[in-house]
Structure 1
Amino acid sequence: MLYTVELQVQDYQLALDTICAEIATPAQMLGSIGETLHRVNSERHDRGQNPDGTPWAATKPPKRRMLHQHGDLLGSFSYQVHGGELKLGFSDHKAKWHHYGTGPYVITAVKARALAFNGMYRKRVRHPGLPARRLVGFPDADKQLVADVVDDHLQLILNRVR
Structure 2
Amino acid sequence: MQFELEFDTSHLTYVLRAARGEIEHPEGMLDSIGFTLLQQNRKRHDAGLDPNGQPWKPLSPLTLQATDPKTKQPIKRKSQQPLLRSGEMLKALHKDVNGDELRVFFWGNVEAERARYHQFGTKPRVITPRNSPVLAFAGIVTKRVNHPGLPKRELIGFPDSDRDLVENVATDHLQRVLQQARAK
Amino acid paired to 1:66: P
1:80 aligns with 2:100: no
Question: How large is the Cα RMSD of the aligned pairs?
Answer: 2.0
Give the structure 2 partner of residue 89 of structure 1: 105
Give the structure 2 partner of residue 153 of structure 1: 173
Residues 82-136 of structure 1: CA deviation (Å, up to 9, x unaligned): 1111000112232222112122112221133321123332222111111111111
Give the structure 2 partner of residue 123 of structure 1: 143
Task: Extract unaligned runs of 5+ from structure 1.
Answer: none
CA contact (8 A) 2:56 2:82 kept: no
TM-score, normalisation: structure 2? 0.78
Amino acid paired to 1:107: I
Show the 5 A alignment for 1:1-150: 7-61=7-61, 62-63=63-64, 64=77, 65-91=81-107, 92-150=112-170
Bigger CA drift: 124-133 or 141-150?
Answer: 124-133
CA contact (8 A) 2:31 2:97 kept: yes
Give the structure 1 partner of residue 73 of structure 2: none
Residue 6 of structure 1 and its aligned partner are, at CA, apart by 6.2
CA contact (8 A) 1:98 1:135 kept: yes
CA contact (8 A) 1:67 1:74 kept: no
CA contact (8 A) 2:122 2:150 kept: yes
SS class of match (1:94): helix
Task: Extract unaligned runs of 5+ from structure 2.
Answer: 65-76
TM-score, normalisation: structure 1? 0.88
Q: What is the CA–CA distance in structure 2 between the aligned matches of 1:109 and 1:74, rounded to whole Å? A: 30
